[in-house]
Amino acid sequence: MITLDDDPFADEVLADPVPLHRRLRDAGPVVRLGRYDVWAMARAEEVTQALNDPATFCSSAGVGLSDFRKETPWRPPSLLLEADAPEHDRARHTVTSVLTPKVVKTYRDTFAREAEKLVAALVARGEFDAVADFAEAFPLKVFPDAVGLPAEGREHLLPYGAMVFNGFGPRNHLFTEAMERGAVAREWIAEHCRAENLAPGGLGARIHEAASEFTEEERALLVRSFLSAGVDTTVHALGNAVLCFALYPDQWAALREKPESSRAAFEEVVRFTSPVQTFFRTTTRDVEIGGVRIPAGEKVLLFLAAANRDPRRWPDADTFDITRRAAGHVGFGSGVHACVGQMFARLEGEVLLAELARRVTTIELAGEPRPQLSNTLRGLASLPVRVR
């Protein structure tokens, strides 16, 4: 078994994680990360296996570096993300009953109308920032609308998300800065998870209705999962999508020819760029993986992004190819903790990329893309583009 001294949460690695992911996969099915005294898996087979074995690789000790059995989390643990069976089953079931594919489909027309409006305005401008004006603008409009949040205060969603996703990493400068920046957002978020602040008929109100067996406080925590998990992730996926199409114009041409394939294209963006890069699990027992024995009670870092580019699993893994059958990637996780909002994310990606493909012939960089460093997410802070 190989020990690597790399810091997966160092700025330069977060800005370009691909080389480390390659080394991690090549080092073996299980690797030791000396710097944090944790284990790591980066190959598709082992990562998928661990995600699908929640009894061995549990989540209730936190899915970040911090071990909830030894440290107090910075916020009350999520009833979904940071929970195990049987408590997790109850919460998960409540949320899936509200987020079924059938319910998601009812938002299609609304999302499509918003996509038309946004893309028309951007095409008229010609030059814009594909992060602020496109990737953030769209989810920040349609998602809080769907949840039932008021128009005022939505600016708190991104700093809150940044706090959540940086909070899974070590206490580095990204963690500290995100906590400082997000401090004001915490109260607004907590306030807007309560039933009285959520519009009737919205997803948030529906969670409160579906979760009648939970306490008021627990119901608010279930809504909080929407606000934590539903915005930054989609924002990064959309920003990464525009960057991919700017860098690979042949793929843009392919999508232009078949805008109806935008859903598959979005899937490939998620595989290729993995907006959610990593999650931790904690072993509940001694377990042997690929000839390596991991003792009980240890943190294991799962590199979803590395698994999604594992050449053992994906032919031409490092090629962005929208015609590829990308199903089976772990960009949305896998197993009982697989992203519960994934059908929403797909709908957002599908309608927005289809609209862009119908209206825009070429996408060019109009400046250097700037990465937005995060301990968990991979995305951009800005992406100046010119469209025709």
Partner 1 sequence: MPKVTYVQSDGTSRTVEATVGRSLMQVAIDHGVDGIVAECGGNAMCATCHVYVDPARLDDLGPLCSDEEEMLDCTASPRAATSRLSCQLPVTEDLDGLVLRLPEEQL
Q: Shortest distance, CB of residue 328 to partner 1, whole angstroms?
A: 5
Q: Shortest distance, CB of residue 37 to partner 1, whole angstroms?
A: 31
Q: Which is nearer to partner 1, 96 or 361 (CB)?
A: 96
Nearest to 74 by CA among 7, 142, 171, 147: 171
Q: Which is nearer to partner 1, 108 or 293 (CB)?
A: 108
Q: Which is nearer to partner 1, 58 or 174 (CB)?
A: 58
Residues 291-329 as b or e (16 or more Cβ within 10 Å = b): ebebeeebbbbbbbbbbbbbeebbeebeebbbebebeeb
Q: Which is nearer to partner 1, 151 or 327 (CB)?
A: 327
Amino acid (one-letter) located at 146:
A
- 132 and 374 Cβ atoms separated by less than 8 Å: no
Q: Shortest distance, CB of residue 234 to partner 1, whole angstroms?
A: 16
Q: Which is nearer to partner 1, 129 or 355 (CB)?
A: 355
Q: Shortest distance, CB of residue 104 to partner 1, whole angstroms?
A: 9
Q: Shortest distance, CB of residue 100 to partner 1, whole angstroms?
A: 5
Q: Which is nearer to partner 1, 289 or 340 (CB)?
A: 340
Q: Shortest distance, CB of residue 210 to partner 1, whole angstroms?
A: 12
Q: What residue ranges bind partner 1 (CB under 8 A)?
A: 93, 96-97, 100-102, 263, 267, 325, 327-330, 332, 334-336, 338, 340, 342-343, 346
